[in-house]
């Protein structure tokens, strides 16, 4: 069974591309869209919290590190307590990055300012989701996912939404989602607050993984009886990334989707 994987991110309208605080990582690595002939496939998406300092770099490091950890140990997405190991590795990677970042700031004669210090001391925060799609056996495969916060995964089969996780209603989105921080992490509390889900997939199934603005828009339309997955499929399967950028600009500038950073990964099974 082949899988067609598309992955895109873009910043909120009015911001520079380097200011995007949402990130994704896919294994096997894809540039924008690519056919993967055999599994497993691991996808992580992270949504950096705008109110915390350096949340964009934390989202990137978190998504990359979680993906690498699950590639190494596929069982991690099946046990929220065991996932603490993956989080710990991500935080170690962040600490090393932060030391280098602060050194570069000093060397460029642009050290951390006094007004940045309180936020730096509180750490950076992000919501995150990691999904694993095992290589199929025969006509069916299994998927499993770990999530903390409001990054969501949607499974579509036969033109119907069959699974939404961890949020299942557009009314569940708010301004204070659960977040994973880089400082003073209570791993037991993270285990309690995070969630895991699992299921099966077959040829023709589609999965959409996205940050909060996309996920809220997706569920809102689905609740009205619309089929947002068809629109997103056409955009993400386009051979040109320009089509995604045009669509994301239009849907946010029109007010149909909240103006926020976006990260979206589409996994089309067959």
Quick: pLDDT tens for 20-29. Answer: 999 999 998 6
**Ranges 108-112, 168-172, 174-178, 185-189, most confident:** 168-172
What is the distance between the alpha carbons of residues 173 and 55, in angstroms, rounded to a whole number?
20
Q: What pLDDT band is residue 36 in, cutting at 50, 70 and 90? A: low
Instruction: Report the pLDDT value the prediction gives residue 220, as an integer from 0 to 100.
Output: 97
The pLDDT of residue 10 is above 70: yes
Q: Which of 211, 213, 265, 212 is nearest to 32 (CA)?
A: 265
Percent of the chain with pLDDT over 70: 94
Query: How many domains are contained in the chain?
Result: 1
Q: What pLDDT band is residue 136 in, cutting at 50, 70 and 90? A: confident
The pLDDT of residue 37 is above 80: no
Which has the minimum average pLDDT: 115-119, 127-131, 155-159, 218-222? Answer: 115-119
Surface-to-core class of residue 96, CB atoms within 10 Å of its CB (0-12 exposed, 13-18 middle, 19+ buried): exposed
- Residue 42, domain CATH: 3.60.40.10
Q: Give residue for tokens 């998504």.
A: 63
- Dump the DSSP string for the chain: --EEEEEEEEPPTTS-GGG--EEEEEES--SSEEEE-S--EEEEEEEE-TTSTTHHHHHHHHHHHHHHHHHH-GGGGG-TTTHHHHHHHHHHHHHHHHHHHHHHHHHTT-PPPTTTHHHHHH--EEEEEEEEEPPPBTTEEEEEEEEESS-EEEEEETTEEEEEES--SGGG--S----EESSS--HHHHHHH-EEEEEEEETT-EEEEE-HHHHHHHHHHHHTT--HHHHHHHHHTSS-HHHHHHHHHHHHHTTSS-S--EEEEEEEE-
Q: What pLDDT band is residue 3 in, cutting at 50, 70 and 90? A: confident
Q: What pLDDT band is residue 35 in, cutting at 50, 70 and 90? A: low
The pLDDT of residue 130 is above 70: yes
- Structural domain including 64 reads 3-269
Q: Give residue for tokens 């399967």.
A: 237
Instruction: Report the pLDDT value the prediction gives residue 48, as an integer from 0 to 100.
Output: 96
pTM equals 0.94
The pLDDT of residue 112 is above 80: yes
Percent of the chain with pLDDT over 90: 74
């Amino acid at each position: 069974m082949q899988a067609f994987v598309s992955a895109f991110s873009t910043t909120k309208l009015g911001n520079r591309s380097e200011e995007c605080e949402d990130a994704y990582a896919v294994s096997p690595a894809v540039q924008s869209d690519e056919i993967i002939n055999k599994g497993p496939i691991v996808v992580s998406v992270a949504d950096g919290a705008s109110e915390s300092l350096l949340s964009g770099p934390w989202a990137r490091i978190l998504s990359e590190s979680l993906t690498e950890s699950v590639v190494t140990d596929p069982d991690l997405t099946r046990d929220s307590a065991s996932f603490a190991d993956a989080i710990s590795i991500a935080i170690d990677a962040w600490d090393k990055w932060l030391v280098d970042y602060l050194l570069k700031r000093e060397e460029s004669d642009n050290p951390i300012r006094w007004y940045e210090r309180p936020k730096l001391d509180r750490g950076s925060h992000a919501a995150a989701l990691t999904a694993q799609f095992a290589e199929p056996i025969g006509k069916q495969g299994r998927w499993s996912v770990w999530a903390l916060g409001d990054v969501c995964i949607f499974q579509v089969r036969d033109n119907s939404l069959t699974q939404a996780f961890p949020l299942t209603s557009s009314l569940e989105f708010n301004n204070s989602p659960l977040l994973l921080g880089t400082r003073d992490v209570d791993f037991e509390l993270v285990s309690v607050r995070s969630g895991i889900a699992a299921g099966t997939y077959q040829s023709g199934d589609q999965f959409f993984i996205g940050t909060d603005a996309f996920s809220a828009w997706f569920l809102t339309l689905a609740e009205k009886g619309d089929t947002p997955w068809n629109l997103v499929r056409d955009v993400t399967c386009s051979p040109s990334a320009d089509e995604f950028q045009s669509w994301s600009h239009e849907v946010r500038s029109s007010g149909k989707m909240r103006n926020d950073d976006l990260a979206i990964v589409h996994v089309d099974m067959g």
